[in-house]
Structures are given as structure tokens and as C-alpha cells.
């Protein structure tokens, strides 16, 4: 009986993985960016702030990652059900790039805290952070405008919680 249930679970899991094969690269990309964000965030807190392990912080990081994984899978399912798989894949690709940009900035900010200021690795990371944070946004339509509006809302206290 146990073997039969195990075979059913494995079969269902393999069917789900086969169904999600077209978004496999995006899911791996999200996994990698969230894993790096988790690791460098933990190291940054440990090295720069002498923080101990915080389960709430770790759970929040895992929760944020789960939200984006569920979002990507849901968009793909909706696209398949509506017979618009290519549109769903394009939307998923856009979400992946946005997540990579913002979490990549967070990773670089954490790396700046990890490396000793004035060392070569610090300069490399600080330069990359500067390029992505201040110069790269000029090349992406609407990103600079979004960041300015968002900063204004946060400073006015009108940002949605």
C-alpha cells in the first residue's frame, strides 16, 4: 500500500515538473537570486552588524521567494488555460528580470557591507552598485519615473502598506 501511494506521488510530481518545463529556466533563475540574497543578507548581518540567526528574517526571505514562485507558476497556468502560452512566458520573463534587478541591487548592497571599505572587492561591488542603481535605470523605460514616484509617496507617507 505504501509503495503504491509513493508511486502515485512520484508520478504526480513528475507530471507537474513536465508541465512546468517551459518555465524551468525562470524558476532556476529565481531560485538562484533568492538563494544569493538569503546568503549575502545573512553574511551581511553577521559580519557588518554582528547579528545572530533570525528565524523571522529567514522566514520572510523564504516567504518572499515563495510568493514569486507561485506568481510565476500561476501566470504560466493561466496562459496555458487561455491558450496564450507565449504571452505568459513573456510576462514571466519580464517578472524575472524585474526581480533579478531589485534583488540584485540588494545583493550588491549587502556585499558592500561585507567587504572592507577601500579594498579592491569593495570598489568593484561599489562600482557595480553605482552603475545598476543610478546609470542603468536611465536605460529602462519607466523605471526612473517609478522610483521617483515611489520615493515621493514614501516620503509623503502616502505609500500603500
DSSP symbols for 86-150: HHHHHHHHHHHHHHHHHHHHHHHHHHHHHSPTTSHHHHHHHHHHHIIIIIGGGGSTTHHHHHHHH
- Give 137's pLDDT tier (boundaries 50, 70, 90): confident
Please indicate whether residue 144 or residue 89 has the higher confidence score (pLDDT).
Answer: 89
Q: Give mean pLDDT, residues 32-50.
A: 90
- Give 142's pLDDT tier (boundaries 50, 70, 90): confident
Please indicate whether residue 1 or residue 81 has the higher confidence score (pLDDT).
Answer: 81
Amino acid at each position: 500500500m505504501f509503495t503504491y501511494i509513493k508511486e502515485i506521488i512520484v508520478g504526480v510530481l513528475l507530471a507537474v515538473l513536465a508541465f512546468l518545463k517551459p518555465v524551468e529556466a525562470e524558476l532556476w533563475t529565481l531560485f538562484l537570486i533568492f538563494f544569493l540574497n538569503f546568503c549575502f543578507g545573512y553574511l551581511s548581518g553577521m559580519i557588518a552588524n554582528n547579528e545572530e540567526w533570525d528565524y523571522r528574517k529567514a522566514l520572510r526571505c523564504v516567504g518572499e521567494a515563495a510568493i514569486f514562485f507561485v506568481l510565476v507558476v500561476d501566470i504560466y497556468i493561466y496562459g496555458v488555460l487561455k491558450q496564450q502560452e507565449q504571452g505568459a512566458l513573456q510576462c514571466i520573463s519580464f517578472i524575472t528580470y524585474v526581480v533579478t534587478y531589485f534583488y540584485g541591487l540588494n545583493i550588491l548592497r549587502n556585499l558592500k557591507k561585507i567587504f572592507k571599505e577601500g579594498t579592491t572587492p569593495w570598489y568593484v561591488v561599489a562600482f557595480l552598485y553605482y552603475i545598476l542603481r543610478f546609470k542603468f535605470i536611465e536605460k529602462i523605460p519607466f523605471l526612473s519615473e517609478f522610483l521617483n514616484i515611489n520615493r515621493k509617496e514614501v516620503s509623503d507617507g502616502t505609500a500603500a502598506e
